[in-house]
Structure formats: structure tokens, C-alpha cells
Amino acid sequence: MKELFKILPLCTFYFLLFTSAEAQPLKPLKAFTHADTLRGTYGPTRDWWDVLKYDLHVKFNLEDSSISGYNIIQFKILKKAELMQIDLQKPMILDSFRFATLNETNAPVSLNFTKEGDAYFIRLPKFYIYLKPEFKNQLYITLYYHGKPRIAIRPPWDGGLIMQQDKNKNPFVSLACQGLGASVWYPCKDHQSDEPDSAEMHITIPDTLMCVGNGRYRGKINNADGTATYDWAVVNPINNYNLIPYIGKYAHFSEVVDGEKGKLDMDYWVLDYNLEKAKVQFKDAPRMMSAFEHWFGPYPFYEDGYKLVEAPHLGMEHQSATAYGNKYKNGYLGRDLSGTGWGLKWDFIIVHESGHDWFANNITSKDIADMWVHEGFTNYSETLFTDYWYGKQAGNEYCIGTRKGIKNDMPIIGPYNVNQEGSGDMYPKSGNMLHSIRQVIDNDEKFRQILRGLNKQFYHQTVTTKQIEDYINTESKYDFSTVFDQYLRTTQIPVLEYKLVGHQLSYRYINCIKGFNLPLKITFKTIQWIKPTEKWKTLNLYPEGENTFSVDPNFYIKTKKVE
């Protein structure tokens, strides 16, 4: 284990040195396998049962990076079926399982399953189908397992178990598994569309360390073998990949803020020697909460509280226990991703990862092909935070500045049903698309109510891109369908071609899909709106003096003057 602790921090350092914030957990694939389909499809071994609760009991052996334990899944039968798919990634091993109803205490343990890649198929007992309706949401399967989880080399992008040491040589351990999937460390139904309605973690570690988890701390049991078991519980729905323990020498401080729904507990867990630095840096957390409750509505998890937890990687949106690893610097590891200076006035990880509590944790995409719903809105939350605290012009400058990170390498929406994302442009390009939509709406209060309405309409739900598009179209009373298609489903950036002859302006869109209909605010003597199409249109003005023409830079398009 000592050798591993020496190597991993060095690997992480060099990765962060050469990696941008828009890196993705999953690299694009040229071809997909049956295993990808099993992982990404919500098919007949998954669609008949609904997860109600995960109850994880896991022991971490830090000497050899192995874990063992069991997951009790409470579930509900939705329709008749025969096989249940349980996901657990190699080299982890499912040992056995036990089906039970609410009142069963001595149900038999079984080894009767088949395996295909990382998917285990378990035959459902026939008598379950004939249960009375009132018992069909009181079913349990306990999954016993063990193994050495995949070690993360470049967390959080290349996920798995993270085994590091703090500067005092104490173990500093956690996991990161977005995209890769929670089945890298525990058996589950590893598909974003089915979140448990609640969850518990009972994590056993050496009693010299502390474990921090999601939700509320329920207590600690000191065992007789030099270990302790820490209990944490979440009472809200939670994504599989967000259910994460943090293990280390932690110190704690907290505050209570007055939020939209009343008193909100905000807790901070940091390595003990970073306590004083954290008390200064984490002042951005209540600032974040004020800004985002204004723009998005109440924090969605008051019952579980809000936490920032120092992590052995850069950061991740682990619901009610946000991972923090930004080295107590403003910006992104001390760098302003916009190049404008505004990004150095706040801590990127506190703002961005906490923004995911609204878009990713409250509103979750059913398929990770639609991850722009998480990353696009959360990227734009950075602009809205800047707007809230430093003014609208500052927010505009920040958003426009992030365009330099757009690659236009592939569409933002990825292929469906194979657990694959699209382009990393889901961050700044989606954010700039939303910024353009905001300009068209041309009413910030209306735009704010749309953002708040999304979080109310889809509160604690999983969604598709279509649902988000339809909601924005309906509430804005403008059909942005071709705008979504242009920016999410192609790599083309629209070009406004124009020519000036005397007092006449002619213009049209090129490099766009058929019917692209983004209106533009322009300056042609006066500030006014135009509605370009693929056909030339002409605007005639007869003022005195020299004509000038420009497009408001808040619209993410290009311009080209022609003779």
C-alpha cells in the first residue's frame, strides 16, 4: 500500500497539469459492444423493478485496498419478469445473494446466478409474482460481495478507488465514479434513470480515522478489532454515483444559514491541518447558496443538509457531500477558465460542483448521453454566480470568455443506451447556448422563473433532453427547437453573413441546420432585433452619418462580412 500511495499523487499531479476542466469521465468510443448495451440500456432485466433504498455495509481494508460487505436493496415490482440484472464491475466479485420480504429473517442464501461481463443475472423467485399488491414494495435482495476495486489513476475523470496519503502520511481515501458507475465498488442497478429514494452507508474503517458520507451522521460504533463503523443516511433520492464515503483525518466546522425553505445546515469536513484555511476559503459556500437559491430555487436537499468535504481529487457533485480538492485557491486550481479575471474572484469547485445540486442531483438525466443537462446548466451557473455578485456585465464577460475552451469536436449529445457521453463541449458550449437563449427571452426575471420552474417541475426526477427542451419552449413562448438541434446535435457554429451597401444591410445565416431561427440583437445605427434565415434579408435605414454594424457578442455565433 505504501508504494501505491507514493505513485498515485504524482500521477494525479501530472494529469491535472495538462488537463482542462472540460475533461470527461468517459472517452468517446468508435464501436460499442454487447457489454455497453447491457450497461447503458434500461431493458427487460431492469425495467420491471424500481429501487426504493440502498443500505450499504462495507468494510475497507486499507492495507491491501480490498473491500467486502453487502448491499441490501429494497425494491418494488412494477410488472411480471424473470431475471434481475445486478451490476458489479471486475475485479469485484458477487459472492451470493438472498431474497426476502419484509418479515423474513432466515431467507436462504443462493449462488444461483449467471454472469455476462460486469452484469449478473439473478432469477426472481416465482412466488414474488403472486404477492399481494401491498407487499410488492416490501421486497429485499441482499448482495454479498468482495474484491479490490479498480484503482483510479486520474480521478475524478478516470474513476475508481482513490488511495492517497495526506501530508502527515495518514490514509486519505475516497472514490469517484461518475460515468464509470457506482458498480465499480458496490453491486447495484447501475443506471441513472433509477435512483434509490433513500440510502444508508455503514462504513467500517480503522478507528484512528473518520468517515464522512452523504446526508446526516447517524453515529459511530467502536468495534473490538481496532475498527469503527460510521453510519450516514440520506432521506432524499440520490444518484448511484453520488453515494460516496470519504476516509481521513478530518476536522469539522459548521454554520446555519437562512435559506428559502428555512434554516439550512452547512457543514465542512477538511483535513485537520487545513482547518484555518478552510474557514476563510469556504466563505464562498454561503455566497453560492444565496446566488443559486435566487436563480434556481430552494436548495433541493434541506433534509440532508449541505456539506463540503475535502477529497483526494479535484471535485465532484456528491449530493449533500460535495467533494472539494481545489487546494484552497480561487479559480480552477488558481486559474481563470474565462481569461477575464472574474473567475479568480471565487472558488471554482465550490461554485461549479455545488451548482450540480440543482442540475445533476435534483434534475438528473436518464441517459448519460444527455449529460449536457447536468454540465451545461451548471457551467452556466458560474455565469449566474458572477452576475449575482458582480453584476450582469461581469457575468456576460465571464460567459463569453469561456468560449475559448470550446472544441466543436463532436456533438454534445452522445449515443443513447450504451452509457456514453458526447463532447466535453457539454460544459462551455451548452452554457453559451443557454446564454444565447437568455438574450432572446430578453427578460431576466422571466429567464429566472424558467430556471426555478425547471427545478420545481422536475424536482427529484430523472429526465430526457426532450423534457427540458419542451419546458423551455413552452415557458418562454418561443420555439428554440432548431437552436437546441444546432448546438447540441451538430458541431456547426452558425455564421451570420452580411454586407453593407450604403444605408442598406443584407444578412443571412450559413453553416446552420435548415430552419435555424435564433434572433439576434444588432447595432445598425440603433440597437434593434433581426430574425435571420438562410435566405438573404435586407434592412434599409436612411440616417445621416456613417453606418456601423455589429452583433451583440452575447450571442454565440460568428459573423462574416462579404462584398
Confidence check: pLDDT of 106 > 80: no
Q: Would you state the pLDDT for residue 109? A: 87
Locate cell 425553505: which residue?
261
- Domain membership of residue 197 (yes or no) is yes
The pLDDT-based confidence of 270 (bands split at 50, 70, 90) is very high
**Averaged pLDDT for residues 554-561:** 98
Q: What is the total count of domains within the chain?
A: 3
The per-residue pLDDT for range 289-315, each reduced to its tens digit, is 999 999 999 999 999 999 999 999 999
Q: Would you state the pLDDT for residue 546? A: 61
Confidence check: pLDDT of 225 > 80: yes
The pLDDT-based confidence of 99 (bands split at 50, 70, 90) is very high
Confidence check: pLDDT of 434 > 90: yes
- Tell me: do 357 and 389 sit in the same domain: yes
The per-residue pLDDT for range 402-425, each reduced to its tens digit, is 999 999 999 999 999 999 999 999
Q: Would you state the pLDDT for residue 30? A: 62
Residues 361, 365, 367, CA angle at the centre, nearest 5°? 135
- Tell me: do 86 and 184 sit in the same domain: yes
Residue 530 has which C-alpha cell?
433581426
DSSP state letter for 158: B
Q: Would you state the pLDDT for residue 329? A: 98
DSSP per-residue string spanning 382-399:
HHHHHHHHH-HHHHHHHH
**Averaged pLDDT for residues 368-392:** 98
- Tell me: do 533 and 411 sit in the same domain: no
Confidence check: pLDDT of 105 > 70: no
Confidence check: pLDDT of 20 > 80: no
**Averaged pLDDT for residues 532-553:** 84
The per-residue pLDDT for range 344-368, each reduced to its tens digit, is 999 999 999 999 999 999 999 999 9
- Tell me: do 406 and 516 sit in the same domain: no
Q: Would you state the pLDDT for residue 15? A: 34
The pLDDT-based confidence of 28 (bands split at 50, 70, 90) is low
Confidence check: pLDDT of 2 > 50: no
- Tell me: do 298 and 269 sit in the same domain: yes
d(CA 202, CA 199): 10
β-bridge mates for residue 57, sequence order = 70, 202
- Domain membership of residue 59 (yes or no) is yes
d(CA 207, CA 67): 16
Give the chain's mean pLDDT.
92
- Domain membership of residue 76 (yes or no) is yes
Confidence check: pLDDT of 142 > 60: yes
Taking alpha carbons only, the member of 394, 58, 61 closest to residue 232 is 58
- Tell me: do 522 and 479 sit in the same domain: no
Give CA separation, 280 vs 103, 256, 283, 286, 385, in Å. Answer: 51, 16, 6, 12, 19
Work out the widest C-alpha separation in the chain, in whole angstroms.
Answer: 92
Q: Would you state the pLDDT for residue 542? A: 64
DSSP state letter for 300: T
- Tell me: do 320 and 433 sit in the same domain: yes
Residue 524 belongs to domain with CATH number: 2.60.40
Give CA separation, 547 vs 197, 454, 502, 524, in Å. Answer: 61, 42, 8, 7
Confidence check: pLDDT of 102 > 80: no
Q: Would you state the pLDDT for residue 9? A: 38
- Tell me: do 280 and 324 sit in the same domain: yes
- Supply the pTM of this predicted model: 0.94
- 1/160: higher pLDDT: 160
Q: Would you state the pLDDT for residue 124? A: 87
Q: Would you state the pLDDT for residue 31? A: 87
Confidence check: pLDDT of 16 > 90: no
| Percent of the chain whose predicted confidence (pLDDT) is above 90 | 85
- Domain membership of residue 218 (yes or no) is no
Residue 306 belongs to domain with CATH number: 1.10.390.10
Confidence check: pLDDT of 530 > 70: yes
- Domain membership of residue 533 (yes or no) is yes
Q: Would you state the pLDDT for residue 26? A: 53
- Tell me: do 255 and 315 sit in the same domain: yes
- Domain membership of residue 374 (yes or no) is yes
d(CA 289, CA 283): 11
Q: Would you state the pLDDT for residue 7? A: 33
- Tell me: do 418 and 444 sit in the same domain: yes
- Tell me: do 487 and 519 sit in the same domain: no
Full residue range of the structural domain in which residue 121 is found: 2-159+177-206
Residue 75 has which C-alpha cell?
425494491
Confidence check: pLDDT of 229 > 80: yes
- Domain membership of residue 42 (yes or no) is yes
The per-residue pLDDT for range 164-182, each reduced to its tens digit, is 999 999 999 999 999 999 9
Last residue of a domain, one of 466, 491, 516: 491
Where helices occur in 458-555 by DSSP H, the ranges are: 465-476, 481-489
- Domain membership of residue 255 (yes or no) is yes
**Averaged pLDDT for residues 529-536:** 97
Q: Would you state the pLDDT for residue 5? A: 35
Last residue of a domain, one of 438, 462, 491: 491
DSSP state letter for 366: S
Confidence check: pLDDT of 456 > 80: yes
Lowest-pLDDT choice from 34-48, 96-110, 518-532: 96-110
Check whether the bond before 91 is cis (ω within 30° of 0): yes
Last residue of a domain, one of 436, 469, 491: 491
- 560 CB neighbour count, 10 Å cutoff: 11
- Tell me: do 501 and 392 sit in the same domain: no
Confidence check: pLDDT of 21 > 90: no
